[in-house]
Structure 1
Amino acid sequence: MTPIAVRQVGPPRLTLGMEGTRRLDWDEHRRLHPGLEPYTVEQLAALAEAGHLHGRGGAAFPFARKLRAVAASAVRRRKRTVVVVNGTEGEPGSAKDKVLLCRAPHLVLDGAALAATALGAREVIIGVTDPGAADSMERAIAERGLGARARVARLPERFITGEGGALVRGIDGRRPIPPGRKVRAATRGVGGLPTLLSNAETYAQLAVLAGLGPERYGKVGLPGEPGTVLLTVTGSARFPAVVETPAGAPLAHLLDLCGSRAGEGVLVGGYHGAWLSGDGATRAQVSRAGLAAFGATLGAGIIMPLGRGTCPLGECAQVARYLAAESAGQCGPCRLGLPDIAGALAALAAGRDGAGALEVVQRASRLVAGRGACHHPDGTIRFVRSSLEVFADDVARHVSGGGCGRPVLGVLPAETEAQLRMEVDWSRCDGHGLCADVLPSLIRMDEYHYPVLPEDPIPARLEADARRAVAVCPVLALRLVPRAPHDAVAPARPQRGR
């Protein structure tokens, strides 16, 4: 993990002792944080309720309810339980969980151990994608002498890896994608056992809550949202950082702390989150209720100011393309809808057929919403719709004038691109469609059943799939070629009549 600064608004709790980039070993951790007494399930649930402890996902699910559901399922099925720490954090622009796992691993383990003891869990599993986080957690397990009672599961770095069902599948040795149907981990999780699955920050918060007690824990924050929250502030910030702040702090203060302003908009909650207008961001509070008042959610705890020097629509188009490529590709909305939306948004950003491209985005968004096998399509649609709404003036300039005249600076991080792009020999292509079957996130078929290829370079993580798509073409019409210079013109597709 590339080191990132850690800043605090007020006294630190989760980030206590994180001067510089040093890792707190077992001895240092114990000097800063007291040992914790064991709890029963009901005692721990009552503690979580007193501290208003919620998950750090978009749903902000109450931790106490999840804990009781796992315990009830274990009794009903007469099964042992498993505790899983979700430390995957595969979303671009997020670093808060990596900071916890790399620098304060024992705080996360303290919370996980509290839950495991209360539930009588068989083991604690920490799911991670970052190599540095994996190494830190494995060292922490050894430092505590946990042996077979805890282990680290290393998973591939993908956006969808952190989805609960995908994480359970990955830990079980299967492909880490959403299962396609809702299966609650509390009922049937890792190895089919009742599983308590929560975010790394949630377990760290549980440890801080147990150490301080509800009264001291609630000395900062809001009455309904006590304590602090951990945020990653990136985007156009001159001083990107992981920031610990009391709930209820002004968002504008956090942006100022990281050397940024609201500008034309601030993305809150990550790529499944929503945009705040510049005016909304200057008035919003960092809390679930404060952001909900502006139609946003804290979600993954990511704050991305856009700044003023880049094309908003172009930035959003790059993210939409990334999200389409990151899908599991197991349902129509992901296989067809998201690539259509990404392609049309890219055309709109490039000033090609503005009104027609906008209509495609809007129509496809209506068709995709609520119909996916997991939450990825809905999260993507939320991002796209929010982009069109907050940047409506910029959209209008692209529709009427072919663009806004600003470059796309890549303020919103997306996939690192390989140095290859895909071309087709139209004299050979017969429209078999096998390439789209292999690579549905990038290749779609038009109304005449001919492939529509991406004009941008192939994302690095999809290069292997792209090579398979080339290999399956029965007439050898596809090829991968070195990435063209930025001023090169992509080969034109022939116009086909009916």
Structure 2
Amino acid sequence: MTTPVVDDVPEVLRIGPARLTAGLDSAVRLDYTAHQLTHGPLPRYDLDGLIALAERIKLKGKGGAGFPFARKLQAVLKTVERQRIAPAVVVNATEGEPGSAKDRMLLARAPHVILDGASLVADALGAASLAIGVDEGSPGVTSMPPAVAERRWDIPVRVVCQPERFTSGEGGSLVRGVNGLPAIPPSRKIRTSDGGNGGVDGRPTLLSNAETFSQLGIAARLGPDAYTVIGTKAEPGTVLLTINRPDAKRPLIVETPAGTLLGDVLDAAGVSPGQGVLVGGYHGMFLDADAAVKAPCSRAGMSAAGGSFGAGIVIPIPEDTCPLGEAARIADWLAVQSAGQCGPCRMGLPNLARVLTDLANGGGGTRALEEARRIAGGVIGQGACSHPDGSSRFILSALTAFTDDLANHSLRGGCGRRVRGVMPLSPWGPGQDQDHLNGPTLVVDWQRCRAHGLCAALAPELFSLDAHGFPVVSNAPIPVWLENDAQRAVNQCPALALRFNRPR
């Protein structure tokens, strides 16, 4: 059954019983009264009971990492007992990932499903505060505050807006944002459950994704036996998928039992797998069409198929677009979206994006292919956060999945297809992604350029040199932290061949 479209909120398709999406076939948005009528009263659990429930339903984080929720609760509890301080609870409903819209759908249409799980956790832990993180442009900005106001709380509850950047949804970024600091990942990996600099107000902090809290609230009502009658033995219950349809303005959210074949989901959504399917978003992996349709929609199923389930993002690549060009376009964007705090983000990702763009444009041949693989392999495991790892995994996956297209580009100079931009760079799908183009870019005047190579020496993060000594520069916007280096390269070019292109 399909629910109506509301403003910029995606429609919902259900395969099997409705749980998170119950009531949305007849209502635009469920207020607290409608929510209670639809789902019934919410039972209360003490901490031991809540941990046992999370263990029995094998609940894992739905934001991408898939960490067991019961272990998060236990980790926070240990710190609370050691430090004798009340914890904080944070709901991560920030979807900096453009291809994902499931949390936005829940925020806009079923906010109390999220708040059910959050209130259960806050009560069981005896939390001192609850924060719900949302993107600045998210429907949660207008939908969540009135939902919070409809309920009675014994602790402060606030909705915190994060900048709409890819890395703003990282757990450390969100905690920093809640604490009033710049919403960028911390320079080293810190567990929020340990409190201190890694927690909200220095407190041990339970942080998890909006869908994770929602699933917990559903399970609390159903009980573990009823909750686990659908899904797989290892991953009971339902999953939310964001299906990015190539020719639609908005994505489609599908609620389906875990383990449903992706091919069946695509058929129900009226979407072809095309040349292949990206699953897991821009830190995920591509599957060729045959593997994609046979892959179960679960973490274990996607992993067995050679993919990554991640946050349930599904982006088919149609036959009439250049897959390597699409991947290069996203690589440019990922380089700009980094926090620029460590070498892999400052140099590795921009270099990787330039090499992939060169390869997609028919330059570099097998040399560029080897260089892309070398840079990607060298970045993995070296960053302060997971952004370099995920970005490299995405690019290496593209080089593996689209071998025919790769051969056309590296050996024949191209595949002859244009890049349609089917992989979104904003939350609302193809054709809605112009915001990423608002920053300045660098342009080379080839009639003036004499291949001095000074630009590459002054700004190695922005320029590399081809086999003839001419600069290779990305057409992506210049990251904020590199603007001074870019200005210096423009000012000192002896041939006056560099200039800025600033969008109007």
Scaled by the length of structure 2, what TM-score is found?
0.88
Contact 2:354 2:472 in 1 (8 A): no
Q: State the distance in 2 between where 1:447 and 1:8 align.
A: 51
1:200 aligns with: 210
1:346 aligns with: 357
Q: State the distance in 1 between where 2:26 and 2:416 align.
A: 41
Matched, 1:401 2:412: yes
Q: State the distance in 2 between where 1:467 and 1:329 align.
A: 12
Q: State the distance in 1 between where 2:124 and 2:155 align.
A: 18
1:357 aligns with: 368
Q: Which runs of 5+ in 2 are unaligned?
A: 1-6, 426-432
Aligned equivalent of 2:221, options 199, 211, 224: 211
Query: What residue identity is the alignment partner of 1:211?
Result: R
Query: What residue identity is the alignment partner of 1:392?
Result: T
2:477 aligns with: 458
For residues 311 and 59 of structure 1, do their structure 2 counterparts lie closer, same or farther at Cα, with a shift above 3 Å needed?
A: same
1:454 CA displacement:
3.7
2:4 aligns with: none
Q: State the distance in 1 between where 2:260 and 2:55 align.
A: 22
Contact 2:381 2:389 in 1 (8 A): yes
Q: State the distance in 2 between where 1:258 and 1:121 align.
A: 41
**SS of corresponding position for 1:86:** strand
Matched, 1:159 2:169: no
1:344 CA displacement:
0.6
1:418 aligns with: 438
2:105 aligns with: 99
1:489 aligns with: none
Matched, 1:245 2:245: no
1:431 CA displacement:
4.2
2:151 aligns with: 144
Query: What residue identity is the alignment partner of 2:341?
Result: Q
Q: Which runs of 5+ in 1 are unaligned?
A: 485-498
Contact 2:340 2:481 in 1 (8 A): no
2:388 aligns with: 377
Matched, 1:75 2:94: no
**SS of corresponding position for 1:10:** coil
Aligned equivalent of 1:310, options 317, 321, 324: 321
Q: State the distance in 1 between where 2:39 and 2:121 align.
A: 17
1:388 aligns with: 399
Matched, 1:127 2:133: yes
Identity rate of aligned residues, in percent?
A: 47
1:145 CA displacement:
3.9
1:64 aligns with: 70
For residues 457 and 334 of structure 1, do their structure 2 counterparts lie closer, same or farther at Cα, with a shift above 3 Å needed?
A: closer
1:453 CA displacement:
6.6
Aligned equivalent of 1:262, options 273, 284, 297: 273
2:231 aligns with: 221
1:182 CA displacement:
1.5
1:490 aligns with: none
1:124 CA displacement:
0.9
Q: State the distance in 1 between where 2:322 and 2:55 align.
A: 44
Aligned equivalent of 1:281, options 292, 297, 304: 292
Contact 1:127 1:152 in 2 (8 A): yes
Contact 2:357 2:474 in 1 (8 A): no
Q: State the distance in 1 between where 2:109 and 2:48 align.
A: 31
Q: State the distance in 2 between where 1:447 and 1:371 align.
A: 26
**SS of corresponding position for 2:383:** coil
Aligned equivalent of 1:50, options 28, 53, 56: 56
Alignment of 1:99-118 (within 5 A): 99-118=105-124
Q: State the distance in 1 between where 2:29 and 2:459 align.
A: 46
Aligned equivalent of 1:187, options 194, 209, 229: 194
Query: What residue identity is the alignment partner of 2:11?
Result: A
Query: What residue identity is the alignment partner of 1:422?
Result: L
1:92 CA displacement:
1.0
For residues 351 and 139 of structure 1, do their structure 2 counterparts lie closer, same or farther at Cα, with a shift above 3 Å needed?
A: same
Q: State the distance in 1 between where 2:328 and 2:245 align.
A: 15
1:496 aligns with: none
**SS of corresponding position for 1:304:** strand
**SS of corresponding position for 1:36:** coil
1:493 aligns with: none
Aligned equivalent of 2:21, options 12, 15, 18: 15
For residues 250 and 82 of structure 1, do their structure 2 counterparts lie closer, same or farther at Cα, with a shift above 3 Å needed?
A: same
Query: What residue identity is the alignment partner of 1:320?
Result: A
For residues 168 and 453 of structure 1, do their structure 2 counterparts lie closer, same or farther at Cα, with a shift above 3 Å needed?
A: farther
1:339 CA displacement:
0.8
Scaled by the length of structure 1, what TM-score is found?
0.89
1:457 CA displacement:
5.5
Contact 1:240 1:258 in 2 (8 A): no
For residues 365 and 20 of structure 1, do their structure 2 counterparts lie closer, same or farther at Cα, with a shift above 3 Å needed?
A: farther
Query: What residue identity is the alignment partner of 1:195?
Result: T
Q: Deviations over 1:70-101 (max 9, x none)?
A: 01111101111001000001101110000011
Matched, 1:24 2:30: yes
Contact 1:235 1:412 in 2 (8 A): no
Contact 1:93 1:413 in 2 (8 A): yes
Query: What residue identity is the alignment partner of 1:294?
Result: A
For residues 418 and 284 of structure 1, do their structure 2 counterparts lie closer, same or farther at Cα, with a shift above 3 Å needed?
A: same
Query: What residue identity is the alignment partner of 1:292?
Result: S
